[in-house]
Structure 1
Amino acid sequence: MGEQMPRAEAGLILSPGDLAARGHSADGIAALVRRGELIRVRRGAYAYPEPAASPEAQHRLAVRAALAHVGNDACASHISAAVLHGLPVWRGDLWRVHLTKHREHGGRIRPGQVMHASVLREDEVITVAGMRVTSLARTVVDLARRYPGALAVAAGDAALARGLSGDELDAALDRAAGWRGIVGARRICGLLDGRSESPGESVSRLIFHDAGLPAPVLQHKITDGSATVAIVDFYWPQWRHTGEFDGMIKYGRLRRPGEDVSAVVIREKVREDAVRDLGYGMTRWITTDLDERWPLIERLRRRLRGDLAS
């Protein structure tokens, strides 16, 4: 029989000494890890597994363990900060914990951890769930400087929706003047829009921009003259064409209490028919379309030129 874990201890970081005090020998600890009843978060740090822990939840554990082994002048940053803030990390690598130490030089990389060196202003470090982490504005700028545009736009859009203001973001960009990647960061941050309701919508918008497609109106309300028929993700007014990103997050958001996904799909089909009946075209796409991107771009180009029926 495995050890019964108190629910309150899920996510608690334990040292070998903590486990020894609970009666576990070194061999016993290894056996718990093999059985999946204990997670080795990093060298000298263990945790009881959380039920159905997501990659983000596992990363939070790793961040907590890493912060326990560094000085108070360090904090979680970059993609690790995004995870702690609850921002999406589109296609992000969560294998390494990213920390920033308050100093100008001396960053280093080692297995499972990247320690960045950078000056941290007092207002650029906050506390989330008991852990020191870069502020939303600093996190978005760091992501935009160092990560692929898709990840940075998805996280940045979510940060704006969370309440990050344009003035805060501009101030963070100004403080990063002259830093590596700042030119690209200004471009990425100029594309952010808090009206995007999912990472897939954010990445779609970036793909359209990079491909030179006309900029769509976001979250456009379509009415029949008296009532709202639908609010669509994207709308190109000149062509009366709408676009919808269909992802599992979206369908989960649209589910009503006690409803399964199939009911949502049917309701979405009825909504699409109502939009088409009003003379609008519609193109739908999913995550794999974003990965391949060019077939989707060409499909939209043809439809916006009116070469194909919608």
Structure 2
Amino acid sequence: MPLHLLHNTTATEYPRRYGDIRDNSEWLRVLIRSYADELPAGAVFSHVSAALIHGLDPPYPATDSAEVVRPGFHRAKKTLRTRDRSLNSEELTHVGDLPVTTVGRTLVDLATDYPLEVSVPFISEALRRGLASHESLHSSIRSGTRGCRRAAQAFDLASPAHESSGEALCAVKFFRFNIIGMIPQVNTYDGAGAWIARNDFRHDKHPLIVEFHGVGKYYLNNAGPDRASSENHERHMKLLNAGYRVFNLVWADLFRAREFTKIRAAIAEFG
């Protein structure tokens, strides 16, 4: 379980240190662990804290506070946020010794209270890992309550086909920029029917492809970053020669408008 201290027989450093935005989540895990024995009666971990406890990875630092729900109490401290929420027994569970909302309730809370950029990657990961289904999530929405429309939108945008947080964020940005028709994880072939690649996103009508390049694609490749970069360039050229317009996005592109404005304009040019 992600928040338990590691077994004495392992030599793994805790918390892990990455030197990037993942360190925020590691320290949030430590903070959650520090509150484990101090929760008041009726309080259970929720939202991002619950997602971390269930082993889901945040797309980027969404909060630096531990989060709980507790009926009849609402308070926001620097390191602990308490929301006044009522829960039924089916929405509660334990992971190890930690009281926590179930995966389903956690995803509903995230979809209701956080922007799409936070909730959709969490939901997509849960769908991909088989921890939830679109049907169960949509049926959990409480119609007429605050945030119910945003939750429904988050569930619609999330997909098990998103293989990373970056791809899930791409889907959100397509929605934000009114880019319609981008299908995730599509096999692409040339004019002779030869397979070229499985692309992160391809337009359903026009020869336009969007690829997201996370750092892991290069540095977690068994053959090393040089080999991965060379293979990516070769694939890119094959796609261009087959008549596709290709947009290659990196993490920073997900947080600025320029590339998505270009994608929208390119689709418009096809008519």
8 Å CA contact 2:15–2:30 kept in 1: the answer is no
Q: Secondary structure of 2:8's match?
A: helix
Name the structure 1 match of 2:114.
Answer: 147
Q: 1:134-168: per-residue Cα shift (whole Å, max 9, x none)? A: 12211111111111210111111111112111222
8 Å CA contact 2:199–2:210 kept in 1: the answer is yes
Closer/same/farther in 2, CA of residues 128 and 265 from structure 1, 3 Å limit = farther
Closer/same/farther in 2, CA of residues 243 and 66 from structure 1, 3 Å limit = same
Structure 1 position 271 matched with structure 2 position 235: yes
Question: Deviation above 4 Å: which 4+ runs of structure 1?
Answer: 224-227
8 Å CA contact 1:67–1:74 kept in 2: the answer is no
Matching residue's letter, 2:53: L
Structure 1 position 296 matched with structure 2 position 263: no
- Once the two structures are overlaid, the 10-residue window that deviates more, 68-77 or 201-210, is 68-77
Q: 2:138 aligns with which of 170, 176, 179?
A: 170
Distance 1:63 1:178 in 2: 32
Matching residue's letter, 2:91: E
Closer/same/farther in 2, CA of residues 242 and 180 from structure 1, 3 Å limit = same
Where structure 1 has 5 or more consecutive residues not aligned to the other structure, the ranges are: 1-5, 11-47
RMSD: 2.5
Name the structure 2 match of 1:50.
Answer: 15
Closer/same/farther in 2, CA of residues 195 and 133 from structure 1, 3 Å limit = same
Q: 2:175 aligns with which of 181, 186, 209?
A: 209
Name the structure 2 match of 1:233.
Answer: 200
8 Å CA contact 2:177–2:260 kept in 1: the answer is yes
Closer/same/farther in 2, CA of residues 107 and 191 from structure 1, 3 Å limit = same
8 Å CA contact 1:244–1:282 kept in 2: the answer is yes
Q: 1:153-184: per-residue Cα shift (whole Å, max 9, x none)? A: 111111111211122212321xx334332222
Q: Which has the higher contact order (CA 8 A, sep 6+)?
A: 2
8 Å CA contact 2:199–2:209 kept in 1: the answer is yes
Distance 1:9 1:78 in 2: 32
Name the structure 2 match of 1:96.
Answer: 65
8 Å CA contact 2:124–2:158 kept in 1: the answer is yes
8 Å CA contact 1:90–1:151 kept in 2: the answer is yes
- Once the two structures are overlaid, the 10-residue window that deviates more, 75-84 or 128-137, is 128-137
8 Å CA contact 2:74–2:84 kept in 1: the answer is yes
Report the count of equivalent residues.
258
Where structure 2 has 5 or more consecutive residues not aligned to the other structure, the ranges are: 1-5
Structure 1 position 182 matched with structure 2 position 148: yes
Q: 1:2-37: per-residue Cα shift (whole Å, max 9, x none)? A: xxxx96299xxxxxxxxxxxxxxxxxxxxxxxxxxx
Distance 1:49 1:305 in 2: 50
8 Å CA contact 1:154–1:202 kept in 2: the answer is yes
Name the structure 1 match of 2:37.
Answer: 68
Q: 1:246 aligns with which of 213, 229, 235?
A: 213
Q: Secondary structure of 2:84's match?
A: strand
8 Å CA contact 1:67–1:75 kept in 2: the answer is no
Q: Secondary structure of 2:138's match?
A: helix
Name the structure 1 match of 2:3.
Answer: none
Closer/same/farther in 2, CA of residues 209 and 93 from structure 1, 3 Å limit = closer
Matching residue's letter, 2:35: A
TM-score, length-scaled by structure 2? 0.85
Distance 1:305 1:85 in 2: 42
Closer/same/farther in 2, CA of residues 238 and 170 from structure 1, 3 Å limit = closer
8 Å CA contact 1:209–1:215 kept in 2: the answer is no
